A and B are shown apart, each in its own frame.
Chain A
């Protein structure tokens, strides 16, 4: 330590105590100073806070010097911090002290002149000349702990009124030295404490960062798991082109992803009213049952904006707990979703009894929509594939039918060709025959007419219904006739039997009221069965003829042959009867 004692020209004459008393008193004071110095060092060595060191040092040094006024100003030029201890001095001096410290020594303006552990007694036993320092001070000491930290120490007059001597000056120097040692030690301790606190803060931050990193790692692991699940599910579904196995595979993947113990998925073809349902983990009596009526009710409640298929973007909807409750699916499902592919294909899925599920996890909420998107793409492909297969089978069937039709057409074409050839042959034959006919002679015509006549006579003679070559009535006497007016009187008086000689078909169409039918062609049979027992004297009126046949005359002749004597033929027949407005039936 470099200690320098400054000369004090204003100190007055040197102290000259009596020799003996002076020696005794000097020894006691030295012992007192040593004890005080020891106590001060002991007390300061226990302190670790620089401020406490300064506070304690000022008080202990004031006691040791026997003064009631003390001042300590410490300043760190590097950090700009300043600490002030003021004892027995007015508080108003605090404001001027920092400037006063700056003016005490010019060394602080030149860093190279500041030496470590330097103590300088500036004033002793007189008032300080520096402006800003309190007037009552009688001792002013500059101290320099190192290149940055320095300060001013000041004491007022002693309480007993005596002046400070050389022993006091040495004692002050020793005290300041001990103070600087303690201050350096406390500063080191403070630095270490600060470092410790900073280290603890850093440790705390590090632990927080570690926890945050662990949380991020956990989230990252879950994200990785979700991503891997989506990738695995998508890869597994992408190669499946059968809707039924696709539903089963997707349900199994979703249950595995959410660690669910039970689940179901339903696919409803609304147009064909076909329902495909896959369930896992349910008992026989707990499995959810879906029919077209229930599915229609479910989707009617869900088909409102924004779950509108026409928008084309959102073809699925993750169902909330309230919606599951409303659809009576809350007992079997914790997570549910409804989806649709187009206007005909609707679907519903749900899983329950999840072992590990966090509703607050954003990633988990986004997982089901991501899985559904991949599933809907695969399901669309599968349904399109089934449609294509069906169209292909229809096309194959139609191709087979077309091929068969072509074969038949080819066969028909061959047949037509044969028929055309035959027709051509007939045509040429007919043409040749026509040409030949045009050349026919009169003899050919006569021969043809003769052959036709012979054939007709043979046929007429052989036929049971053949007609006679000459009218039978030619060889018979003319029958008796009766006119319509006279016949009318007979009819009205029911004095005669009216017989219709026409065939039964004509008789059934129209006849005189009350007339009986005796057709000429069945005369023998009908007469023998119905009229053989008639009175031979009975008046009989016969009618019925046409242009070529005179049934009435022949019937009348046959009746006369059988003994009927009063048989007459009505002139004009039924036509004249009708012209006269007489009754006919039916």
Chain B
């Protein structure tokens, strides 16, 4: 029984380790272009935390990289996904709002 439990824990850890890519190259600040409808300033911090700042509010979240995508985990359990374009541009799709383009500063 104990042997099976150890085997399960080891397999889960291996799965979690191999599922995520190295996100260090994404750390930094991203901003929507000046001509964009909505002003957004995205700050991805090395510890996996981040902020989503608009003209009216600041939202904190945790982020991770999954392959060619970045996942933003909200505090209420939701996930917003965005495409990573050449590590300098992010295209974040917010339901009901649309795609927000952010460029690295």
Contacts and interface: CB of A to CB of B under 8 A. Distances in A.
Given A517-B95, A526-B95, A528-B57, A464 B76 contact: no
A159 to B, nearest CB: 171
Nearest to B59: A524
A523 B77 contact: no
A504 B96 contact: yes
A32 interface: no
Interface string A215-258: 00000000000000000000000000000000000000000000
B95 A527 contact: no
A529 interface: yes
Given A464-B62, A504-B96, A529-B97, A522 B56 contact: no
A526 B5 contact: no
A21 interface: no
B101 to A, nearest CB: 14
B80 interface: yes
A519 B94 CA distance: 11
Given A524-B75, A529-B40, 13 more contacts: A448-B1, A451-B5, A465-B78, A517-B95, A517-B96, A521-B76, A521-B79, A522-B80, A524-B61, A524-B76, A526-B94, A528-B56, A529-B100
Interface residues of A, number: 29
B5 to A, nearest CB: 7
Contacts of B72: 525
Shortest beta-carbon contacts, A-B, top 7: A521-B78, A464-B73, A532-B56, A528-B57, A524-B59, A504-B95, A522-B78
A529 B77 contact: no
Interface string B66-97: 00000011111111100000000000001111
A464 B76 CA distance: 9
B54 A529 contact: yes
A533 B57 CA distance: 10
Given A451-B5, A532-B57, A533-B56, A523 B76 contact: yes
Given A448-B1, A521-B74, A527 B57 contact: yes
Given A521-B78, A524-B59, A529 B73 contact: no
B62 to A, nearest CB: 5
Contacts of B64: 464
A242 B68 CA distance: 66
26 contacts: A464-B62, A464-B64, A464-B74, A465-B78, A516-B96, A517-B95, A517-B96, A519-B95, A520-B76, A521-B74, A522-B80, A522-B94, A523-B78, A524-B59, A525-B78, A525-B94, A525-B97, A526-B94, A526-B95, A526-B96, A528-B52, A528-B56, A529-B40, A529-B94, A532-B56, A533-B56
Contacts of B1: 437, 440, 444, 448
A526 B5 CA distance: 42
Given A448-B1, A451-B5, A464-B62, A530 B97 contact: yes
B6 to A, nearest CB: 11
A315 B78 CA distance: 88
Indicate the member of A440, A529, A554 with the most B CB atoms within 10 Å.
Answer: A529
Interface string A178-197: 00000000000000000000
Contact of A529 (B5, B38, B58, B74): B38
A212 to B, nearest CB: 110
Given A464-B62, A517-B96, A530-B96, A522 B74 contact: yes
A529 B97 CA distance: 7
Interface in A451-474: 451, 464-467
B56 A519 contact: no
A522 B95 contact: yes
A528 B74 contact: no
Interface residues of B, number: 28
Contact of B97 (A464, A520, A523, A526): A526
Contacts of B94: 522, 525-526, 529
Contacts of B58: 528
Nearest to B77: A465
A467 B74 CA distance: 12
Nearest to A467: B77
B54 A532 contact: yes
Contacts of A524: 52, 57, 59, 61, 74-76
A128 B23 CA distance: 179
Contacts of A451: 5
A464 B77 CA distance: 6
B7 to A, nearest CB: 13
A451 B80 CA distance: 32
Interface string A509-545: 0000000111111111111111011000000000000
Contacts of A529: 38, 40, 54, 94, 97, 100
A280 B96 CA distance: 87
B76 A522 contact: yes
A464 B54 CA distance: 22
Contacts of A503: 78
Nearest to B96: A517
Contacts of B62: 464
B20 to A, nearest CB: 12
A525 B76 CA distance: 10
Contacts of B54: 528-529, 532
Nearest to A505: B95
Nearest to B79: A465
B85 to A, nearest CB: 20
Nearest to A468: B77
Contacts of B100: 529
Interface string A414-448: 00000000000000000000000100100010001
Indicate the member of B56, B61, B62 with the most A CB atoms within 10 Å.
Answer: B56
Contacts of B74: 464, 521-525
B61 to A, nearest CB: 8
Nearest to A440: B1
Contacts of A528: 52, 54, 56-59
A554 B62 CA distance: 21
Interface string B32-67: 000000101000000000001011111101101000
